[in-house]
């Protein structure tokens, strides 16, 4: 705890001084371009990973970077997504899973949550992920199966996002883009889901899918 308090002193004396103008500007309001959804895991630092400044990322964190589909939960996730999309007008939503995710390990081995009823209940929202792994990745073992669960879970959450009315509406409008990422923190690598390739690719190879959104918008206009 002492380390945290010391950290605040150093932040106030050093970092804050450097960013004073930015924080004063942000006191007037925020206009983040991106909603970043990731796991609560302590080994992930979205700001450091993306070298973002305060005011740039609107963030949702929970165990397993899970967004329950529309109507499935009264939790804060749907409300926070709605605020980001409909009030703040974010242009991008990133769901970022990560290697060695304890939540996904528990999805694959529910006995880990025998004495954690709230965690078990929450991970019930990842039942789709569990079933996909059970039915399609049963031959994989250990870390490979866990990584498959991390990747499939990101895709499941992207689908869940599409069920939220605020997100669905903006997607039809064509000015919101969803991204699925996996962060391998032990190597610093980030992989992004490429819908064209149907797989996760290195971020450097990833083409922003804005054109797909625009193409769909055009298609609807001609009908
Ligand atoms: Zn995790």
CATH code of residue 55: 3.40.1050.10
Residue 212: is its pLDDT beyond 60?
A: no
Separation of CA 103 and ligand 1 centre (Å): 5
Q: What value, to the nearest 5°, has the Cα angle with vertex 184 and ends 178 and 101? A: 85
Residue 51 designated active-site: no
Residue 101 designated active-site: yes
Separation of CA 95 and ligand 1 centre (Å): 12
User: Which is catalytic among the residues 15, 43, 144, 162?
Assistant: 43
| DSSP reduced 3-state for 184 | strand
The count of domains in the chain is 1
Whether 7 is covered by a domain: the verdict is: no
In this predicted structure, what is the pLDDT of residue 53?
96
Residue 103: is its pLDDT beyond 90?
A: yes
Whether 17 is covered by a domain: the verdict is: no
Query: pLDDT tens digit string along 112-157?
Result: 999 999 999 999 999 999 999 999 999 999 999 999 999 999 999 9
Residue 41 designated active-site: yes
CA distances from 4 to 10, 53, 161, 173, 211 (A): 10, 20, 35, 44, 44
Separation of CA 88 and ligand 1 centre (Å): 27
Separation of CA 38 and ligand 1 centre (Å): 8
Q: What is the DSSP letter of 85?
A: I
Whether 6 is covered by a domain: the verdict is: no
Residue 197: is its pLDDT beyond 50?
A: yes
Separation of CA 18 and ligand 1 centre (Å): 32
Whether 126 is covered by a domain: the verdict is: yes
Q: How far is CA 140 from the centre of its chain?
A: 25
User: Which is catalytic among the residues 96, 101, 125, 179?
Assistant: 101
User: Which is catalytic among the residues 96, 98, 130, 170?
Assistant: 98
Query: pLDDT tens digit string along 49-97?
Result: 999 999 999 999 999 999 999 988 778 999 999 999 999 999 999 999 9
Structural contact between residues 28 and 65, judged by C-beta atoms closer than 8 angstroms: no
Whether 11 is covered by a domain: the verdict is: no
Separation of CA 27 and ligand 1 centre (Å): 32
User: What phi-psi label fits residue 34: left (phi over 0), alpha (psi between -120 and 50 degrees) or beta?
Assistant: beta
Whether 154 is covered by a domain: the verdict is: yes
Separation of CA 150 and ligand 1 centre (Å): 8
Q: Please report, to the nearest 10 degrees, the dihedral formed by the alpha carbons of residues 105, 111, 117, 120 taken in order.
A: 40
Domain of 196 in residue numbering reads as 29-222
- Two structure tokens written together for 89: 């007008």
In this predicted structure, what is the pLDDT of residue 210?
59
Residues lining ion ligand 1 (Cβ < 5 A) are 39, 41, 101, 103
Q: In what order do the strands lie in the sheet with 92-98?
A: 57-62, 34-39, 92-98, 177-184, 189-194, 199-202
208 band by pLDDT with thresholds 50, 70 and 90: confident
Residue 96 designated active-site: no
In this predicted structure, what is the pLDDT of residue 147?
97
Structural contact between residues 125 and 72, judged by C-beta atoms closer than 8 angstroms: yes
Whether 18 is covered by a domain: the verdict is: no
Whether 4 is covered by a domain: the verdict is: no
Structural contact between residues 56 and 84, judged by C-beta atoms closer than 8 angstroms: no
């Amino acid at each position: 705890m002492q380390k945290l308090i010391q950290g605040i002193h150093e932040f106030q004396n050093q970092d804050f001084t450097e960013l004073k103008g930015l924080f004063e500007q942000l006191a007037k309001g925020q206009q983040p371009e991106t909603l970043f959804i990731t796991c609560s895991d302590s080994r992930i630092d979205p700001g450091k990973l993306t070298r973002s400044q305060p005011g740039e990322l609107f963030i949702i964190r929970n165990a397993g970077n899970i967004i329950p589909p529309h109507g499935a939960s009264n939790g804060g996730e749907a409300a926070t997504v709605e605020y980001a999309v409909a009030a703040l007008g974010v242009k991008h939503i990133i769901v970022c899973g990560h290697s060695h995710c304890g939540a996904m390990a528990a999805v694959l081995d529910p006995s880990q949550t025998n004495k954690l009823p709230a965690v078990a209940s929450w991970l019930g929202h990842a039942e789709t992920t569990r079933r996909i792994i059970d039915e399609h990745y049963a031959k994989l073992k250990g870390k490979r199966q866990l990584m498959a669960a991390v990747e499939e879970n990101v895709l499941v959450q992207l689908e869940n996002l599409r069920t939220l009315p605020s997100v669905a509406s903006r997607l039809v409008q064509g000015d919101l883009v969803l991204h699925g990422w996996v962060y391998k923190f032990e190597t610093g690598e980030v992989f992004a889901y490429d819908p064209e390739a149907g797989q996760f690719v290195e971020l450097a190879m990833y083409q922003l899918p804005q054109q797909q959104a625009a193409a769909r918008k055009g298609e609807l206009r001609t009908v």
